[in-house]
Amino acid sequence: MQRRSVLKAAAGFPAIVHSRMGAAPDKPNILWILSEDMGPSLGCYGYPLVRTPNLDRLASQGVRFNRAYTTAPVCSASRSAFNAGLYQIYTGTHHHRSHRKDGYKLPPPARLLNDRMREAGYFTANVLEFAPGARGTGKTDFNFTAPKPFDGTHWNQRKPGQPFYAQVNFQAPHKGPAFKEARRRKALIDPAKVPLPSYYPDHPVVRDEVANFLDAINLLDHKVGLLMEALERDKVLDNTVIFYMGDNGRCLLRGKQWLYDAGVRVPMFLKWPGVTKPGMVSDDLVLSLDLTATAMLAAGIPLPETLHGRPLTGSKYKPRDVIFTARDRCDMTLDRIRSVRDRRYNYIRNFMPERPYTQHNEYIETEYPTLGVMKELYAKGKLNAAQSLFMAPRKPPVEFYDMRNDPDEVHNLAGSPTHRKLIEGFSNRLDSWLGEMNDKGSIPERPEARLL
């Protein structure tokens, strides 16, 4: 079902919202289920090999968004944005893991969503244990100071009759403990069967890393199933608006930290009892910030004009024609990259083309074995043209991809005479947006703001 059908299905939306804007007990509970480093590698998106019945079921109970994106390809910048509903380059929270010790606060009119929810009568919770052996991480990862962003660690800690706004943050499939835990499960993905993008060499180490990533997705699905059972056991499932989203793209080389689809495209679902209908599917371009706006709408909170997100349904819904994304410093790796994409094309501008894709990053070099393989094969001249792109000593100033015909984004059309006017239009659109955002990425970062 396309977006137009979704809007028709929600025609009674304003009346429903009005009926829920009275006493707190009439308001729906709101739950965000967030997983880390997660591209749309789920069964419901047609991805092979994975076994994700719980997430697929949740998607089938509401709206599944096929073209959902986060504002940044790394967790702290992305989370700093969607927890406030504003782009990270607008609020100065764009550098990965910054402002942890310098007391930096969100600049007005930016506000943490949790504070708005609390004022609307909601109990806020960053859920930890919800079933024996199953728990959220309690992650916030904000690039700003938030002394007490949540009231508690479980929805059951709220007052009788009080609605809750809760997050359950799952680490999987982030690299680290989740990858190791996933490998202890009985049914594992066969590395020989995993599909590889054209920019990866067909090598046992590469296949093993991709398979481990998919194993971690299966682990995530299992834990989401336990969460849904807990909600049903506590009799809150039927009156809870449930959002599911990944905080950024997949944690594989050329995914996380980059503005290709693999780095910023994520799964996103919305299940809203009485508003969404089972089996809805949207092909519209949607953004992580839209979750913020939709959650506020569900809670009956007026939407500020300054909010960058848009409600995903209802009378205020407005389709997007493009999505903007941004990447800045990641750990010790300094860079500045901006992108604007529509349904077909992705325009990427590298402000620091002299810095290679493979400049030193301890996290990538330690946790991504594929990089070591590619360095070795590149030195021996054994990578083909697509695989060699990531190993180049410089980045091109502009990258432009036709994602319909080149889903792996390996054929740069930036120099194509045929696409010159089209590229110029995307460039102008990006310039306009950067001006609107007063892009803080153009300002050098103070050393004391970094956490390395």
**Using one digit for the tens of pLDDT, what is the confidence trace for 266-282?**
999 999 999 999 999 99
Q: How confident is the model at residue 451 (pLDDT cuts 50, 70, 90)?
A: low
Alpha carbon 355 to chain centroid, angstroms: 25
Mean pLDDT of 116-131: 98
Please give the pLDDT value at position 81: 98
> Which of 291, 321, 351 is a domain's end point?
321
**321, 346, 371: which is the final residue of a domain?**
321
Say yes or no to pLDDT of 15 above 80: no
Query: Domain range for residue 84?
Result: 3-321
| 452 lies in some domain | no
Helix (H) or strand (E) holding 169: strand 164-170
Same domain, 283 and 359: no
Whether 233 and 378 share a structural domain:
no
The reported pLDDT for the residue numbered 452 is 52
Residue 4, pLDDT score = 42
Q: Considering only CA atoms, which of 273, 266, 322 is closest in space to residue 291?
A: 266
163 and 221 assigned to the same domain: yes
Predicted confidence band of residue 300 (pLDDT cuts 50, 70, 90):
very high
- Would the pLDDT of 14 be above 90? no
The stretch 48-69 carries a mean pLDDT of: 98
Domain co-membership, 305 together with 377: no
Predicted structure pTM score: 0.94
**DSSP state letters, 18-64:** HHTSSSGGGSPEEEEEEESS--S-SGGGT-SS---HHHHHHHHTSEE
pLDDT of residue 326: 99
Residue 133 has pLDDT above 90, yes or no: no
Residues 170 and 162: their CA atoms lie apart, in Å, by: 25
Tell me the C-alpha distance between 267 and 258, whole Å. Answer: 17
Mean pLDDT over each residue of the chain, to the nearest integer: 94
Structure tokens of 343? 């349904």
In this structure, the answer to whether residues 56 and 178 fall within a common structural domain is yes
pLDDT (0 to 100) of residue 13:
39
